[in-house]
């Protein structure tokens, strides 16, 4: 059957444009259909957001770079124009420790301080600094040492037990007379009584020896008391009532030797003066009235109230301690006296009336002096008696100078 001819187009209807798009295949149609589904929209959104975020970051970096470049350009312009308050060149740049930067031209070369010597070097300045520091440390240490209170030891008087006695009279007592301790303490020093030591018959044995006291104390005072035994200076007893105290002799002789060996000063009072003489080989009158009948009275019932005059020989240390005084009044409480002078001893004072030796000094030591009178009783005896403070001060000065 023959097809009917096409109808002619009407003049009032515009012609339909002809599409040149390729014909859609079944596969592309299926893919397009899949993107139109709801699930495909959620899968596309994250990819788009990430792309937007990266774009914003890139824009921020670019803006920051432009701002930094503008600031550097402004800073450079300010430095060139000399604007006050502008940062110095290189401000904000990382430090460079390897580049050598010489001083700018025309700068003044560094000069040493004016107080330094011209020939000073770093080593000489360092040496003087160390020496000054060492002197400061030594001065501080010396100040602490010299300001330490002196410690003076006093030998003990000994009370021996009475046979058959009860209580304290049946015990051995060691003690010191109060006035001698207070006399030494009056110069603001500490006083320690030194007890006897030994192994024989000790209820509580100890390894402490008298040399330990000589090591730790600064000086020794031998106080008065009982007679020195004639056996100590190789003599026989003239009378039974004058046996002396042999036990105390041996204790004080060892004490004296230890302090002399240590270079520490020793001051002997009354019996102490006699013991110093015996220690160096001298002898004693066991009783002045018996052996020297022409001598004056050196002891009576008035005890420390009895007194007589003494004289200081020229050149003696006592004469220098009491300048302008050739004679002085002292108390007298002794019935024994120096007879034969010990070796290396000088006579420091004699009795004005009879010439008996009243004071001695050992010349091979800084200070070993003995006086026959009791200086600790003089202040209570009145202004007539010799003020023996210069003697005590000389003893303590020697203690301070020789204690190390």
Residue positions counted in the chain: 404
Q: Distance between CA atoms of 277 and 268, rounded to whole angstroms?
A: 10
Q: Which of 273, 376, 378, 388 is catalytic?
A: 376
**3-state SS assignment for residue 311:** strand
pLDDT tens by residue, 4-35: 444 444 444 445 544 444 455 555 555 555 54
Q: Distance between CA atoms of 93 and 231, rounded to whole angstroms?
A: 101
Q: Is residue 49's pLDDT more than 90? A: no
Q: Which of 270, 308, 334, 388 is catalytic?
A: 270
273 included as an active-site residue: no
CA separation (Å) from 97 to 22, 87, 101, 155? 71, 20, 10, 77
Sorted by where each starts, the structural domains of the chain and their CATH numbers stand as 142-401 (3.40.50.880)
pLDDT tens by residue, 71-108: 777 666 666 655 556 666 666 677 777 777 777 776 66
Angle subtended at Cα 78 by Cα 76 and Cα 83, rounded to the nearest 5 degrees: 155
160 included as an active-site residue: no
374 included as an active-site residue: yes
pLDDT tens by residue, 348-395: 999 999 999 999 999 999 999 999 999 999 988 889 999 999 999 999
Q: Which of 298, 308, 334, 374 is catalytic?
A: 374
The H or E element spanning position 158 is strand 157-159
pTM: 0.67
């Amino acid at each position: 059957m023959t097809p009917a001819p096409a109808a002619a187009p009407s003049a009032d209807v515009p012609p339909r444009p002809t599409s040149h798009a390729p014909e859609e295949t079944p596969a592309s149609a299926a893919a397009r259909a899949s993107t139109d589904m709801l699930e495909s929209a959620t899968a596309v959104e994250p990819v788009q957001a990430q792309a937007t975020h990266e774009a914003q970051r890139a824009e921020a970096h670019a803006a920051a770079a432009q701002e930094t470049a503008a600031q550097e350009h402004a800073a450079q312009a300010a430095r060139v124009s000399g604007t006050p308050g502008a940062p110095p060149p290189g401000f904000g740049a990382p430090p460079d420790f390897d580049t050598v930067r010489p001083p700018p031209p025309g700068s003044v070369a560094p000069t040493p301080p004016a107080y330094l010597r011209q020939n000073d070097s770093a080593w000489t300045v360092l040496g003087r600094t160390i020496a000054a520091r060492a002197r400061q440390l030594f001065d501080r240490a010396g100040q602490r040492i010299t300001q330490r209170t002196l410690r003076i030891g006093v030998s003990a008087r000994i009370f021996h037990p009475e046979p058959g006695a009860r209580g304290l009279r049946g015990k051995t007592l060691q003690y010191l007379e109060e006035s001698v301790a207070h006399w030494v303490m009056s110069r603001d020093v500490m006083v320690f009584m030194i007890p006897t030591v030994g192994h024989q018959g000790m209820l509580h044995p100890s390894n402490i020896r008298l040399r330990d006291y000589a090591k730790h104390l600064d000086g020794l005072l031998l106080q008065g008391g009982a007679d020195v035994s004639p056996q100590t200076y190789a003599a026989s007893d003239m009378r039974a009532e004058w046996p002396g105290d042999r036990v105390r002799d041996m204790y004080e002789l060892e004490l004296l030797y230890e302090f002399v060996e240590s270079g520490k000063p020793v001051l002997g009072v009354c019996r102490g003066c006699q013991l110093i003489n015996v220690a160096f080989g001298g002898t004693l009158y066991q009783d002045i009235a018996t052996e020297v009948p022409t001598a004056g009275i050196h002891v009576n019932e008035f005890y420390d109230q009895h007194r007589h005059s003494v004289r200081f020989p020229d050149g003696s240390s006592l004469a220098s301690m009491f300048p302008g005084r050739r004679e002085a009044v002292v108390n007298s409480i002794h019935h024994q006296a120096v007879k034969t002078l010990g070796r290396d001893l000088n006579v420091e004072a004699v009795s004005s009336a009879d010439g008996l030796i009243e004071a001695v000094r050992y010349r091979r030591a800084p200070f070993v002096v003995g006086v026959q009178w009791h200086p600790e009783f003089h202040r209570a005896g009145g202004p007539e008696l010799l003020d023996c403070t210069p003697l005590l001060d000389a003893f303590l000065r020697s203690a301070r100078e020789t204690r190390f």
